[in-house]
Structure 1
Amino acid sequence: MASKKYDLFQLEEERKHWKTVNTDCLTKEVHIVYIQRKQAVDMYIDGYSLSVISNSINCSASSPIKWIEKCRKKDEYGSPYGYSGLLPYKHLDQYKRTKTVTDLAKTFAGAMTKLLHDYPELKEYVDNLFLKKDKTVLEKNITRKIIFEKFLWKCKELGIREYEYPFNTKNMGERALYIYMNELEQEMSNYSISRRNKDARQKYSSTGLGIPVNYPAQRPFSRVQIDGHKIDCILTVQVENQDGEIQMVPIKRIWLLTLIDVATRTILGYHLTVNEEYNRFDILSCIRNAVVPHEKMNFEIPGLHYPEGEGYHSMAMAELSWAVFDSIELDNAMSHHARDSVKQISEYLNAVMNFGPVSTPERRGIIERFFQSLETRGFHRIVSTTGTGISDPRREKCESEATNYCISFQHILELTEVLIAQYNVTPHSSLNNFSPLEVLRQRVERGMVPAYLEPEKQENFTLLSYTVARTVRGSIETGRRPYVQFEGAEYRSDELSSSYDLYGETVSLLINPDDLRTVTAFRNDGSEIGTLYVAGKWAYTKHSLAQRRAISQYIRKNNVLIGPLEDPITIYHDYLNSEARKHKSAGNKLAALNIERTKNRKENTPVININESKSKNNGNTHNMLSEQSLDNMIQSDLFRSLYE
C-alpha cells in the first residue's frame, strides 16, 4: 500500500464532523461529478491506494489529495467545508488580484481588496468608520456616502497618486467600497448591528442562536409569564365643571397586566391600572388575582355575560383554588418594580422570579400572542379604539367617540373580564384544537397537580403587605408621647404611647398599601405592639399608599395649606377635577382616585363626603349618562358583536 500524505486515523475522525450535501438539490451533471469525488475521498480515508482509486474512479492519482484539501479547508467561521467542498464551481477562496491597477487596465476585479491589503491602515480606518469599533469615532451611524468621502481623503493622506487606484477609475472605487461595506456588515455582524434600531439590536442579541432558552413546560402552574400591555383604546373620566354640570374627558391609555400559564396557555389572572406607568403593587395585584379564587362580576353592560365553561380556572375547577406557581417569568423592564418584592413572593408563594432580557417579546411569545388576540378580538372593535398605529384609520375621532359614548374604566374592566374568559375557553391550534381550560383539566386529571398555598395564608392573604423599619420618636422631657412617622404622618396607639422604653428604638411596621389609616407595629424581638392609627387629617378617609404619596407631592409642589378638619383626599379630588379638563395625566390620577373611592364604598368602608347633596346629584346624572351611552353603544355593530 502506497505511503499516505495524511494521517488516516485523523482524517477518519475529522470526517465524522464534515458537512454533508443534499444531493436531491443537484443537477444530473453536478451530481455525477460530486459522487465521483466523494467516492474517491472516502476510498482514500478507508485505506485504498492512490493507484486503486485512480483506476476505479478514472481520475488522476493526485486528484484525491486535492479533493481532501478542499474538504479540510476552513470557511469564514472556522469550520471545514467538508463534503460541500467537493461541489464543482464552488469558490472556496476569495479572489485576490495580483496585477497593479493602472490607467490602461480594462478591468478592476479585486482592485479594492488589493488596495486594502496593501494599505492595512486604510482598511482599519474604513472598518472603524463603518463598525465604530474604535471609541475615537464619535459620530453615530455614518452614512456610506460620508465614509466614501473620508475614504478618498485617507487615500490622499497615505500618498496614493492620482494615476493610481482608486483615483484612476470613473467612480473612484465608490461602488467597490459599498460592496466591501456590505460584506463587512455580514462578516462583522456583532459590530454592524449597532447601526440598526433598538428593536433590531434586541432581537439580534437574544434570538436566532439555536440554543433553547426555555424548555417546554408540561405541568400546569410550573412556569407562568407576566407582562404589561397598553390597551389600544381611549376611555374617559367624569368631571364637574364650574356650572356643576358633568362632562366626560378622555384620559391616557391604561395598562393591562396578565399572568399566563405556559404549559396550558390559560390566563390565570389579570389587573387593570389607570396609572401612567404600572408599579410593583400593580404586579403584585396581578399575581394576587391569579392565586385568590376568582369571583364572578356583576356586569353593568346589558347583555354581557360569561361564556360556557366559566372562563377562569378557579371557577371551572374549584379544586384549583389557591394553586400557586413554581417560576414567574418577567420582562427585565419590570425588574425595578418587582425586585423589592422578590423576597416577598419567594417566601410567601415559594416561587422563583425569573427576569428575562429587556424589550424582548420573543422570549415571552406566548403572552405577547395573547395580547395580539385580545386586541384583534376585542379592543380594536370598539368605537374608541386607537387601532394598531398612527396610520390606522380606526383611530380617527377615537377621543370624541369615547366621550360621546361615555366609555369608562368600569366598561373596559367588564369587557376585559369577558374577553379573557372567552380566550380561556376558545380552542387553540397550538393546543391541538383544545381550549386552555380543557388542556388544564386534562393534565390535572392525569396527575399533574400544582402546589397550593398553605391554609393559614389563605385565611389572611397579605401578598401586598410589606415591612419597613422606623424609629420611635418623642421625648418625656418635652411631654411628647412615643409615636412613629411614616409617609409624612404620625401614627400612635394607647400601648405605644405608654411604652417609654421604646424612645429611640427601631420598630417594624407592617404596611397594607391599600389602607394607610392603620399599621401594625412589632418590637425588635418580633413581639407585636399592636395596631397604630394615623393622626390628624389622614384619618378621615381610607386611602392607599399611592394616593398618600400623590397627595403629599401635590401639597409640597403647590404649597397647599390643609386645615386640621379638612380632608386631603377631598381637596385633592377637587384639584384633579379642575385639572383633568386640561391635562390627560390629571385625568388618569382622577380616575385612579375614583376607582379607589368606589372600591371603598363597596367594602362598606366609612368615607367622609363633604358635599353629600352635590355628590348625590352628580351620581344621578352619571347614571343617566351611563344608561344612555350604553344603549347607544349596544346599538353599534362594533360593540354588540363582542357579547352577543
Structure 2
Amino acid sequence: MATRAVIGYALALGREYNKDDIAAALQASVMPHAARASKIPAPVVRPGGGLPSGVIPGTAWACWGTFHFEAAKAHCAKATLERLTQVVGCTTDNGPLGQKNKRALIERFFDQIASHFAHRLAATTGGSRRAVERVLNDVGEKTSLMMTLDELEDVIDVLLAKYNGEPHGRLGGRTPLEAMHFLLEKQDSLLRTLPVARSSALCLLQEARVVAIRGDVSRGERPHINFEDVRYDSRVLSGIAGLIGKQLRIYCNVKDIRHLHVFHMDGSELGVFLPRAPGALRHIRCACDRKSSH
C-alpha cells in the first residue's frame, strides 16, 4: 500500500482464477523473483524497474504483516486463509463490507493494465480502419500474430517490472521501487522476512492432496505413489516397505507437477518425489494442459 509496488504475481489460465492460482501468487510474492530469459527480443525492462525481491537487497523472502484481500470466493476460502496465516505468520483483513473504495488501489492498477496491455478483442473493431484490433480479431492463417503462452508470460513479466519503475504522482514523483528504497532506508525494521526453515515450507500454501502408498513386496514392487496416473517415488520411500497402504499428503504446483513435496499425515516431511514411469514428463505436460483449461 505504501509503495504501490507489485511484489509478485501468477498467471491464471482459466476463465476464473481459483485457490490454486491464489496459492501460486502468494508463493511468488514471497520467493525471490528471477527475471525470465525472454523469448521476445523487443520488450525490455526500463532502467530502475523490476520486482523488489529481484533488485532490492534484503527483500528476498520478505513478507507482510497484514494481508488485505477482496471478498471473492477464491480469496475467502477458509482453508486458504488458515494456511496463509500459519505459513507466513500474518493477519488477514477483508475490509469494511460494502466499501469497495477501500480497495480502490487494486482496481486502479488493473484499469491501467487493461488500458495499456490487455484488451478484449471479441466484437471489437477499434477506432479506425487501420486499428490493430481489426487485424487481431480474425487472424485467419496468420498464426504469427498469435501469442504463445511463453510469450504472454514474457510480456507480463516485463510489463509489471516496468510498472514498478514508473513515477507515481501519489508517491511524490518516486517510482514504487524508489519509494520502497526510501522507506527501508528510513526504517529497516519495517522489513520482516521468513526464517530459512519456514521459507522451505512455502509449498504448504497449496491445498494438500491425500494419496495412498502403493506397492507389493511379494512381487518386488517397491513403495510408490500415483498422481495424475503417473508413478512417483523417492529413495527414502523405496526402502520403507512398512509404509505400504499408509496415506501421505502431497503439495504441488498444478501447472508443473514434475516434482511433489510429500509429507506424512502427522506433518513430518518425507521429501521431494519425482516421476519414474516411462514417458511421465510428456504425460505431466498434458495433465497440466487439461487442468489449465478447466
The answer for the alignment partner of 1:226 in structure 2 is none
Q: Distance in 1 between matches of 2:63 and 2:186?
A: 18
**Any stretches of 5+ residues in structure 1 without a counterpart?**
1-261, 552-587, 593-644
Aligned CA distance change for structure 1 residues 490 and 332 (closer, same or farther; 3 Å): same
Q: Which residue of 2 aligns with 1:365?
A: 104
Q: Check whether the contact 2:164–2:175 (CA below 8 A) recurs between aligned residues.
A: yes
Who is 1:453 aligned against? 194
**1:263 is paired with a residue of what secondary structure?**
coil
- 2:242 is aligned, of 491, 499, 502, to 499
Quickly say closer, same or farther: Cα 1:362–1:263, change in 2 above 3 A. same
From 349, 353, 371, give the equivalent of 2:92: 353
Distance 1:268 1:540 in 2: 31
Counterpart Cα distance in 1 of 2:108 and 2:33: 23
- The aligned residue for residue 399 of structure 1 is 137
Contact residue 487 and residue 549 of structure 1 kept, 8 A: no
Q: Secondary structure at the match of 1:515?
A: strand
Partner letter of residue 331 of structure 1? E
1:409: which partner in 2? 149
Determine helix, strand or coil for the equivalent of 1:499. Answer: helix
Q: Is the 8 A contact 2:249 2:265 kept in 1?
A: no
Q: 1:263 is aligned with what amino acid?
A: A
1:434, distance to aligned residue in structure 2 (A): 2.2
The one-letter amino acid paired with 1:462 is C
Q: Which one has a bigger Cα radius of gyration?
A: 1
Query: 2 CA distance for matches of 1:339 and 1:345?
Result: 10
Structure 2: distance between partners of 1:452 and 1:519:
22
Match of 1:626 in 2: none
Equivalent positions of 1:407-556 (< 5 A) are 407-447=147-187, 449-458=190-199, 461-470=202-211, 486=227, 493-496=237-240, 498-499=241-242, 503=245, 506-513=246-253, 514-515=256-257, 520-522=262-264, 524=266, 539-541=280-282, 543=284, 547=287, 550=290
Structure 1 residues 289 and 470, CA gap change in structure 2 (3 angstroms): closer
CA shift for structure 1 position 272: 2.0
After superposition, residues 30-429 of structure 1 pair within 5 angstroms as 262-335=1-74, 338-355=77-94, 361-376=100-115, 378-379=116-117, 385-386=119-120, 390=124, 393=127, 395-401=133-139, 403-429=143-169
The CA distance in 1 between the partners of 2:122 and 2:101, in whole Å, is 19
Q: 1:458 to 1:542 in 2, by over 3 A?
A: farther
Contact 1:269–1:286 (CA<8 Å) still a contact in 2? Answer: yes
Instruction: Quote the offset at 1:479 in angstroms.
Output: 9.9
> Deviation of residue 315 (structure 1)?
3.4
Task: Return the letter of the residue paired with 1:373.
Answer: Q
Specify whether residues 549 and 302 from structure 1 end up closer, same or farther in structure 2 by C-alpha distance, changes over 3 A only: closer
Judging by fraction of residues, say which structure has more strand: 2
Separation in structure 2 between the aligned mates of residue 302 and residue 474 of structure 1, nearest angstrom: 49
- RMSD over aligned Cα, in angstroms? 4.0
- Which structure is higher in RCO with an 8 Å CA cutoff and minimum separation 6? 2
1:541 Cα deviation after fit = 4.0
Separation in structure 1 between the aligned mates of residue 35 and residue 274 of structure 2, nearest angstrom: 34
- Residue 510 of structure 1 aligns to a residue in which SS? strand
Distance in 2 (CA, whole Å) between partners of 1:453 and 1:333 is 27
Q: Does the residue aligned with 2:106 lie in a helix, a strand or coil? A: helix
Retained in 2: the 8 A contact 1:465–1:512?
yes
**Counterpart Cα distance in 2 of 1:427 and 1:302:** 25
The structure-2 alpha-carbon separation of the partners of 1:536 and 1:368, relative to structure 1 and needing over 3 Å to count, comes to same
Q: Partner letter of residue 17 of structure 2?
A: Y
Query: In the superposition, relative to structure 1, how do residues 410 and 358 fare at CA in structure 2: closer, same or farther (>3 Å)?
Result: farther
Shift in Å, 1:365: 0.8
Counterpart-to-counterpart distance in 2, 1:292 and 1:457? 12
Alignment check: 8 A CA contact 1:467 1:508 kept: no
Structure 1: distance between partners of 2:169 and 2:59: 25
Where 2:170 maps in the other structure, the secondary structure is helix
- Distance in 2 between residues matched to 1:530 and 1:490, nearest whole Å: 15
Q: Residue 332 of structure 1: SS of its match in structure 2?
A: coil
How far the C-alpha of 1:293 sits from its partner, in A, is 1.8
* Aligned-residue offset at 1:311: 2.9
In proportion to residue count, which structure has more helix? Answer: 1
In the alignment, the residues of structure 2 paired with residue 490 and residue 339 of structure 1 have an alpha-carbon distance, to the nearest angstrom, of 31
Q: CA deviation at 1:266?
A: 1.1
**CA drift at 1:424:** 1.6
How many angstroms apart in 1 are the aligned matches of 2:18 and 2:212? 27
Give CA-to-partner distance per residue, 1:244-300, whole Å, 9 cap, x none.
xxxxxxxxxxxxxxxxxx111111112223223222222222222222222223333
CA distance in 2 between counterparts of 1:528 and 1:517 reads 14
Does the 8 Å CA contact 1:314/1:320 hold for their aligned counterparts?
yes
**In the alignment, is the contact (CA less than 8 A) between 2:20 and 2:206 conserved in 1?**
no
Question: Conserved in 1, the CA contact under 8 Å of 2:248 and 2:265?
Answer: yes
* Distance apart, 1:531 and its partner CA: 6.2
Q: In structure 2, how many angstroms separate the alpha carbons of the residues matched to 1:427 and 1:281? A: 33
* Amino acid aligned to 1:455: V
Compared CA separation, residues 358 and 420, structure 1 to 2 (3 A)? farther
Letter in 1 for 2:284: H
> How big is each residue's C-alpha offset from its partner over 1:394-447, in whole Å with a ceiling of 9 and x where there is no partner?
543423358452333333323222222222222222222222222212211111
Cα distance change, pair 543–340 in 1 and its aligned pair in 2 (3 A): farther
Contact 2:49–2:163, Cα closer than 8 Å, also in 1: no
Distance 2:276 2:150 in 1: 33
Maintained 8 Å contact 2:275/2:281: no
Matches of 1:290 and 1:284 in 2, distance apart?
10
Q: Tell me, in whole angstroms, the C-alpha distance in 2 between the residues paired with 1:510 and 1:365.
A: 37
Residue type of the alignment partner of 1:515: I
Change over 3 Å in CA distance of 1:433–1:512 after alignment to 2: same
SS at match of 2:58: helix
* Shift in alpha-carbon separation, 1:440–1:276, aligned structure 2, 3 A: same
